[in-house]
Structure 1
Amino acid sequence: MSEAFVKAYKHVREQLEKNTPETVIQEKMPEFRDGVFVVNRYVPSDPPMLGMALKNPGVQITRETIVRVERFAKRRGLLMQTEGENIYLVSKDGVKRAWLRPDFFAATTPPLFEAIGKVFYNLSPDLVSQLELSDGWDSSIARLLADKLMLTKATVALFFLFSPALWVAVSLFLTESLFYPRWVLVASGVVALAAALYLIRLYLRENFPELSEKIDTARLKRRPAL
């Protein structure tokens, strides 16, 4: 997940909570960097978008580009709209989720922002982004690897499965004792299970903050006036 996008999101959220006019946010938007990714534009649309303005055009809007963008959009359940040299990725209910121009791109979520930058603007491309628009089994594997949320959930499941506290809890539930009554073992198992869940929660908070806080500019709200 693009840290530049997350930092920009938090900045805009803070400004909106202060009731800063959107024109001021747009004009005074700072630059947030994360390697080659830079978020330096705020687009006050509905929902708002956060984007990167490039010094030089990063992509040419050709027929081939449009075909590639359309395939990219379909694989994410989105539709494509074009207006001159502007390409929009739109949800099925008509909400614009991303915007591409030769020298600029923006999106409403960090994963979409990062994927567009890698696939179409050649910003820190990796194997997943290179296989993104190809066909065949390698493309399917690329899409699975690109689904970071799914990989995160799989990691969490493995972490929980191999947690020592979990297996201590299971053994306490299943074990019969000659020295302790059954309720003592059950209570101990509950405590061990609670400890396992607590450790997992701490692990997720430190390593996968995206699971606890959804970063989507559609959630940006101005604080209501008193």
Structure 2
Amino acid sequence: MTGAFEKALEWIKGEVDNGKPLSTIMLTMPTFRDNELVINKIYSFNPLIIGYSGPELNIELDSKMILKVNWIAKNFGMNVVFSPPDIHILRGNEPVGVVKRDGFGASDPILLSELNRHIGRLSNQYGVKIEVKDSWIKSAKILSMHRQSRRILLVALFIIILPTSLVLSISLTYPYILGGGLIALSIPIIVFLVTSIAAYLYFRRETSISRIKIQD
């Protein structure tokens, strides 16, 4: 099933192919809906950024919102620039998203979905039912693109799971190496707790650094 983002792109392409002026296309943009997104706004043509705009949003572009947009952008390997009164998302030097007081847009459907989920929540506003299958597929796509999600999986694998599994295997196969008895059984638990704390401290440090950079 074609989503709202794809339908909007198809409509814009058709209007451009018909020779319509860009200003006319922006003014006559219809509303496109699917199970998750509502798209009714063209923010720019070069690059093409589309999204939602509505006075009911009244987005507060304060430091908390900048941090939230920065968190979303960092997960995709992007950067954020606050150029009052708007927040811009950049991939390198290329604008790929924008957050305004009355709306938000993106050049990518996954990024737009994330902005909608964390800022707009338009699916709840319009009472649209989201299919479980589509929800799982979308979640998988988002996880595969998120740099932060990949980092969490790698940290969990190399810092927590592998050391704990190795020590557990040794304690079960060669318990005498670890002292035998309860000592051999307790060491994997200790390793798991220590590595979990190390992973937690690592992510807390990364989050603190990110916030300091934004505040600067």
TM score, norm. by length of structure 2: 0.55
* Alignment match, 1:75: 75
User: Structure 1 residues 148, 77: closer, same or farther in 2, change over 3 A?
Assistant: closer
Alpha-carbon distance between aligned partners in 2 of 1:75 and 1:114, rounded to the nearest angstrom: 13
**SS at the partner of 1:19?**
coil
Cα shift at 1:150: 4.6
Alpha-carbon distance between aligned partners in 2 of 1:34 and 1:59, rounded to the nearest angstrom: 23
Extract unaligned runs of 5+ from structure 2. Answer: 125-137, 146-216
Alpha-carbon distance between aligned partners in 1 of 2:120 and 2:52, rounded to the nearest angstrom: 11
Cα shift at 1:36: 5.9
Alpha-carbon distance between aligned partners in 2 of 1:14 and 1:149, rounded to the nearest angstrom: 33
Alpha-carbon distance between aligned partners in 2 of 1:149 and 1:18, rounded to the nearest angstrom: 38
| Higher share in helix | 2
Runs of 4 or more consecutive aligned structure 1 residues displaced over 4 Å after TM superposition = 148-151
Alpha-carbon distance between aligned partners in 2 of 1:115 and 1:58, rounded to the nearest angstrom: 18
Q: Deviations over 1:23-69 (max 9, x none)?
A: 11011111112246321112334202112112312531111111121
Q: Does 1:118 align with 2:107?
A: no
Letter in 1 for 2:38: V
Cα shift at 1:146: 4.6
Cα shift at 1:112: 1.1
Letter in 1 for 2:111: L
Equivalent residue pairs, number: 133
Letter in 2 for 1:20: K
Alpha-carbon distance between aligned partners in 1 of 2:35 and 2:118, rounded to the nearest angstrom: 16
Q: Mapping of 1:213-224 within 5 angstroms?
A: none
Alpha-carbon distance between aligned partners in 1 of 2:68 and 2:140, rounded to the nearest angstrom: 17
Cα shift at 1:2: 8.0
TM score, norm. by length of structure 1: 0.52
* Alignment match, 1:24: 24
Letter in 1 for 2:37: F
User: Structure 1 residues 64, 148: closer, same or farther in 2, change over 3 A?
Assistant: closer
Extract unaligned runs of 5+ from structure 1. Answer: 126-143, 152-226
